Amino acid sequence: MDRMDGATAVITGATSGIGLAAAQQMASLGARVVLVGRNQEKLDAAVAGVTEVSTNGKVAGYRADLSSLEQVRRLADELLAGEQRIDVLINNASVLAPERSLSVDGFELTLATNLLSTFLLTNLLMPRLVESAPARIITVSSGGMYTEALDVSGIEMSAEDYGGSAAYARTKRAQVVLTDIWADRLAGTGVVAHSMHPGWVSTPGVAASLPTFRRVMGPLLRNADQGADTIVWLASDSDTLDSSGDFWMDRRPRSKHRLKRTETGDTETGALWEFLCEATGWAPPAGWPESGEAA
């Protein structure tokens, strides 16, 4: 791993599992690490633990429930006020909800947490990322996305057809497409965007949401440090600034599709961007690049 001295890395979902492991590894490489979590007690404990392994003691915590668009906006305001630079933004927070429930804004919870918050937070922080360039956006997706195509009309599952794993996989596919859009629009700005699959990792989230899967696959699952390895490598290695829009696993770019039916066309890609703008109430400010244009 390259050193990260002088860099600031913001990571969501950082109080346990892969997120916490990534925070610890980046802190040991010299980065200022900013942890985002929704539970204050867990956040305080995570900040204390990461501080113990930090080589410079520069660790901060921000509390926000990312299923709430209002809290995402508040978090962005606080980060812009409190962090002079953001060199790395790691969108790691996600949920796999076995039973369908709604966010405070009335969206299906998986969609709100995994996709709407990722879109809104990243776009609100984009000016600071551009100012800090070269900078990186890293979105933690999942191999589950291979099972789903992007269908914007069905991305929010109804009560009648809801399935936790399918809802999760659809948002993870959308994250990969969203990364492609960012990579295209941010070309020439010095900000690169990557998505990645950490492998199948034994985390508290997997234990709570997929207990049978964890019990059957337990001996084959990775630990959190192994799952975080590619995240930290993408955040630190100078070579990962040379490309944008790739999907990574084990430090290697991977195919984004295993099945032809999951391939995404320009029409559906554009529909995703329009849906996310409307759902979150975010509109590109003046100066935001169109497709393929630098800001």
- Could you list the active site residues? 168
Give me the amino acid identity at 220. L
Closest CA to 196 of 251, 151, 146: 251
d(CA 6, CA 33): 11
d(CA 58, CA 56): 5
78 backbone dihedrals φ, ψ, rounded to 5°: -65, -40
What DSSP character marks residue 108?
A: B
- Structure token digits, residue 210: 């997929």
Residue 279's alpha-carbon distances to 68, 156, 162, 290, in angstroms, are 12, 11, 20, 20
Q: Which residue has the tokens 């892969």?
A: 18
Closest CA to 255 of 176, 202, 186, 184: 176
105 neighbors 112 (Cβ within 8 angstroms) = yes
**Chain Cα centroid distance, residue 245:** 14
Strands (DSSP E) contained in the chain are 8-12, 32-37, 59-63, 88-91, 135-140, 191-196, 247-249, 252-254
Closest CA to 262 of 172, 129, 196, 188: 172
